[in-house]
Each structure stands twice: as structure tokens, then as C-alpha cells.
């Protein structure tokens, strides 16, 4: 027997649109975006934080939407791959994915482009990665840095060479 949990009111902005919603406290941000808002661009791959298909930006930082409870995003600004394309114009990282054949089936791509957008912001902030030299004042661009920082986003089509090239071109 299951017990219903009382819905909790939240306010959330997704891709520039404000929503007032009553949310089951057990619902993830990914299920809120896909099922409650009817926006399928955020993909569900593993639903366990292992593939990166669900990556979106919350307050400009990349997160795995399948691992975050929606109620913790009360007051947050969420951007999906749809929201990256402001006013119908592709975000530079989206254009770079097109230009560099950085996808095949495209299932991982919404998460990849959100992750890449987050990566660009993290790099601009000087945030180090696992492969950044500890003696560097700030990370320096290299394919190793890009691969490491994109390693949370799997691509079953193996489009990794194009993905690294796209991020390299977008910096
Ligand atoms: S669906 Fe979220 S990491 Fe795989
Ligand atoms: S393009 Fe098919 S999984 Fe990445």
C-alpha cells in the first residue's frame, strides 16, 4: 500500500516562463520538467545520475535533473536545451555541435549542450577540474580538460571527438 504525500507549492522559472506548481515532494526536477510541464527536451537515460542525459542548468550551474528533488528548486531559474536557444537563435554551443557533427541519434545532445554551457561558465570562473595542474593559477584550455569536464555526459553513439571539437570551438 502506498501513501500519498501532500503536494508542496513551489515557484520555478523554466526557460523564461514562470510556473506556480503543487509538487509531490518525491518528484525529481526531471520528472517535473518532462511530465508536469510537458517539456520532453530534458532526456531520461538512466534516471540514476550516471549518464548525463538529463543535464540542465539551475541558476546557471549544470545539474543532473534526475538527482534533484523538484521542491528544492523553489525560486530557481532552470534552463534546458530549449531555453539555450534564445529568441529562436541557436546558442553558440548548439551551433558548434551542428558544425562539428557532435551527435548521431541526438538523444544525449540536450544534456551535452547544457553541460557544455555550464562548462564554459565554470572555465570562465577559473574552477579547476581533476586534470587541472595544481600549480596553475587557473585552468588552461586543452582537450584533456574538455574531456574531463564533459565526462559525466555519456554518448552511446560515440560522438566524443565531435563533442570535444564543438566545445573547443565555443570557448
Ligand atoms: S537520466 Fe540523469 S544522469 Fe542519467
Ligand atoms: S548522439 Fe546518440 S547517444 Fe549521443
CATH code given to domain 8-84? 3.10.20.30
Rounded distance from Cα 80 to ligand 2 centre (Å): 17
Q: Render 30-67 in DSSP notation, one character per residue.
A: HHIIIIIS--TTS--SSSSSSS-TTEEEETTEEEEGGG
Atom of ligand 2 nearest to the CA of 156: 3
Start-end of CATH 3.10.20.30 domains in the chain: 8-84
Does ligand 1 have an atom closer than 6 angstroms to the CB of 126? Answer: no
pLDDT at 138: 82
Rounded distance from Cα 44 to ligand 2 centre (Å): 13
What CA–CA distances, in Å, run from 170 to 5, 62, 117, 143, 166? Answer: 44, 17, 9, 13, 6
Sign of CA dihedral 116, 123, 150, 152: negative
Beta strands (DSSP E) in the chain are 8-14, 17-23, 55-58, 61-64, 77-79
Q: Please say whether the structural domain 92-170 has been given the CATH code 3.40.50.300.
A: no
Q: Are 111 and 54 in contact (CB under 8 A)?
A: yes
CA terminus-to-terminus distance, the chain: 52
Does ligand 1 have an atom closer than 6 angstroms to the CB of 118? Answer: no
pLDDT at 156: 97
Assigned C-alpha cell, 22? 503543487
pLDDT at 20: 98
pLDDT at 2: 57
pLDDT at 167: 97
Residues at CB less than 6 angstroms from ligand 2: 103-109, 155-157, 159
Does ligand 1 have an atom closer than 6 angstroms to the CB of 62? Answer: no
pLDDT at 88: 80
- Size of the chain, expressed as the number of residues it contains: 171
pLDDT at 44: 98
Consecutive 10-residue runs of the chain (171 residues): their mean pLDDT? 80 97 97 97 97 98 98 98 90 97 98 97 91 83 95 97 97 86
Start-end of CATH 1.10.150.120 domains in the chain: 92-170
Assigned C-alpha cell, 149? 569536464
pLDDT at 135: 78
Amino acid at each position: 500500500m502506498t501513501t500519498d504525500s501532500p503536494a508542496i507549492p513551489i515557484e520555478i522559472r523554466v526557460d523564461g516562463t514562470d510556473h506556480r506548481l503543487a509538487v509531490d515532494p518525491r518528484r525529481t526536477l526531471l520528472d517535473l520538467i518532462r511530465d508536469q510541464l510537458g517539456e520532453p527536451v530534458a532526456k531520461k537515460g538512466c534516471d540514476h545520475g550516471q549518464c548525463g542525459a538529463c543535464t540542465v542548468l539551475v541558476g546557471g550551474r549544470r545539474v543532473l535533473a534526475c538527482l534533484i528533488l523538484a521542491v528544492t528548486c523553489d525560486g530557481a531559474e532552470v534552463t534546458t536545451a530549449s531555453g539555450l536557444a534564445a529568441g529562436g537563435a541557436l546558442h553558440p554551443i548548439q551551433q558548434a555541435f551542428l558544425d562539428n557533427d557532435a551527435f548521431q541519434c541526438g538523444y544525449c545532445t540536450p544534456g551535452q549542450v547544457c553541460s557544455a554551457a555550464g562548462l564554459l561558465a565554470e572555465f570562465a570562473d577559473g574552477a579547476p577540474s581533476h586534470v587541472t595542474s595544481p600549480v596553475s593559477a587557473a585552468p588552461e584550455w586543452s582537450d584533456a580538460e574538455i574531456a574531463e569536464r564533459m565526462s559525466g555526459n555519456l554518448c552511446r553513439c560515440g560522438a566524443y571527438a565531435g563533442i570535444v571539437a564543438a566545445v573547443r570551438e565555443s570557448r
